[in-house]
Amino acid sequence: MLKRYFITLTGTMLLAFAATSQVTLDSLRHLAIDNNKQLRIAAERIEQAGYEVKQAKAAYLPALDFSGTYLYNQKKLSIFDSDQFLPTLTFDPAAMTYKPNVLIGPDGNPVMNPQTGEPIYNPVAYLPKDHMTYDIHNVFAGAVTLTQPVYMGGKIRAMNQMARYAQALQRDLAAKEADEVIYNVDATYWTVVSLVAKKRLATSYVELLDTLKTNVEAMLREGVATRSDLLSVEVKLNEANVDLMKVENGVALARMALNQLCGLPVNEQYTLADENANSVTEAKVEPQAVNLGDVYARRHDVSALSTAIKVFEQKEKVAFASMLPNVAVVGMYSFSNPNMFNGFQKRFAGAFSVGAMVSIPIWHWGGNYNKWRAAKSQTIARRLELEDVKEKIELQVAQASFRCQEAVKTHEATASNMSKAQENLRTANVGFLEGVLPMSDVMAAQTAWLKANSELIDAAIDVRLCDVYLSKVLGTLGSR
């Protein structure tokens, strides 16, 4: 909530400042970073990874669990199926042993049961079935269990390492996304500046043609120009007005895109610090030293892939742990109602128990082994992906440096052309006013002047964009 309030306050302050002053590129960068939805998502993923680190740490500690059960049974529990008659014994001092009490017949021999062929015992112990039947219609049971892992094949440690690397990976991805946001803001910013400059150029071109039209109309009244000359100028003027309208529409659309990147209302109006500068057509590039080792260290995508490799290495260890024994110590307090701790009693009673649990995988038809090999293959694939990314980065750096050098050369050439086109337009205007050059030469000079100015603006903006792209490739964009 506080973060959202800060973001809103930042945007409000920027807009209030923009109403009286100019908005810089750096302030738009900060505003875009504060309001970008993808960066907010990345921040939540970092926070999620932090909770997962804490979750992994908890696996080192004993787990305390409670479980409770209620059962309704349809029938009672009876130990016997009928009343029981059990034989009794009498101690014989002479033999120092117990002898069964049997019924003795008149002949002095035990009386035998004709059905079973066994002696008839007399007396007997009578156990009624009703007294050995227990009410278990409603059974309540519960247990409080404490489990402490002792050895899990290294899985717990590997999962903790994996969680920490995953958190670092999310930070790298967030930083990479921030670089993308900064690059897009810079590119859109300079696009707006370029279109505003072209709008001024198109306005100047319209003013030139309007002045030429006024001159031709005066010459037409004096009879030194033809109606065809005036129509030619009017056609050019109409084309220039259409081009001016297109540029104005382009400026509006580019401003909308910039506002969207910065999280502002799309129709918000403010002045950019560079859009009214006279130095739009000037371009300077600070030379940047290129050391691929430093580039790899600064690039967040390389860092993310390196961290991902570490994650998959820990995943290998987790998979390998599935082939190793697991040992844990268990302590439990269990209770039930009814209970059998002291006869059958319909009340709660319980007892403690302590033990150890060992699980040893023996044969799983290669399932665990193949799981481990699959994890190793994933790690190898990530290493190859990292090598491929480094090769592409090397190509990117070479291409970006070349493009930057070419943009500087193009800017120098267009600047030279601009000075010549300016002089050509001046001499054409002088010659036309003195009557030694036709109007077509003036319009041709104006067209050349317009083209030279437009190319100079494009070249200057291209130098800035190439410099921004080179900084992105080198990993120095965020520090600019």
What the chain holds in terms of domains, given with CATH numbers, is 2-35+154-324+366-479 (1.20.1600.10), 76-139 (no CATH)
Neighbour tally for 99: CB within 10 Å = 10
Rg for the chain, CA atoms, rounded: 46
DSSP state at residue 244: H
pLDDT band at 88; cut points 50, 70, 90: confident
Per-residue pLDDT at 116: 79
pLDDT digit string (tens) for 410-427? 999 999 998 999 999 899
Q: Is the pLDDT of residue 289 over 90?
A: no
Amino acid 350 reads: G
Residue 375 dihedral angles phi and psi, to the nearest 5°: -65, -40
This prediction has a pTM of: 0.80
Q: Please give the C-alpha separations between residue 12 and each of 5, 31, 220, 263, in angstroms, as whole numbers.
A: 11, 10, 57, 11
pLDDT digit string (tens) for 212-255? 889 888 888 887 778 888 898 899 999 999 999 999 999 999 99
**Bridge-partner residues for 339, per DSSP?**
345
Per-residue pLDDT at 6: 40
CA 132 to chain CA mean position, Å:
66
Q: Is the pLDDT of residue 17 over 50?
A: no
pLDDT digit string (tens) for 366-398? 999 999 999 999 999 999 999 999 999 999 999
Q: Which contiguous run of DSSP H or E holds residue 147? A: strand 138-151
Residue 381 dihedral angles phi and psi, to the nearest 5°: -60, -40
pLDDT digit string (tens) for 104-137? 888 878 888 888 778 888 888 888 888 888 888 9
Closest alpha carbon to 235 in 443, 78, 396: 443
pLDDT band at 261; cut points 50, 70, 90: very high
Average pLDDT for 20-46: 90
Assess contact for 473 and 400: CB atoms under 8 A: yes
Tokens 């306005």 belong to residue: 203
Distance CA 35, CA 295 (A): 28
Q: Is the pLDDT of residue 10 over 60?
A: no
Side-chain-side CA neighbours of residue 451 (13 Å): 10
Distance CA 369, CA 367 (A): 6
Q: Is the pLDDT of residue 2 over 60?
A: no
pLDDT digit string (tens) for 417-476? 989 999 998 998 888 888 788 888 888 998 999 999 999 999 999 999 999 999 999 998
HEC-encoded secondary structure of the chain: CHHHHHHHHHHHHHHHHHHHCCECHHHHHHHHHHHCHHHHHHHHHHHHHHHHHHHHHHCCCCEEEEEEEEEECCCCEECCCCCEEEECEEEECCCCEEEECECECCCCCECECCCCCCECECCEEEECCHHHEECCCEEEEEEEEEEEEEECCCHHHHHHHHHHHHHHHHHHHHHHHHHHHHHHHHHHHHHHHHHHHHHHHHHHHHHHHHHHHHHHHHHHHHCCCCHHHHHHHHHHHHHHHHHHHHHHHHHHHHHHHHHHHHCCCCCCCCCECCCCCCCCCCCCCCCCCCCHHHHHHHCHHHHHHHHHHHHHHHHHHHHHHCCCCEEEEEEEEEEEECECECECECCCEEEEEEEEEEECCCCCCCHHHHHHHHHHHHHHHHHHHHHHHHHHHHHHHHHHHHHHHHHHHHHHHHHHHHHHHHHHHHHHHHHHHCCCCCHHHHHHHHHHHHHHHHHHHHHHHHHHHHHHHHHHHHCCHHHC
pLDDT band at 96; cut points 50, 70, 90: confident
CA 453 to chain CA mean position, Å:
44
Distance CA 174, CA 41 (A): 9
Assess contact for 205 and 239: CB atoms under 8 A: no
Per-residue pLDDT at 9: 46
Per-residue pLDDT at 284: 74
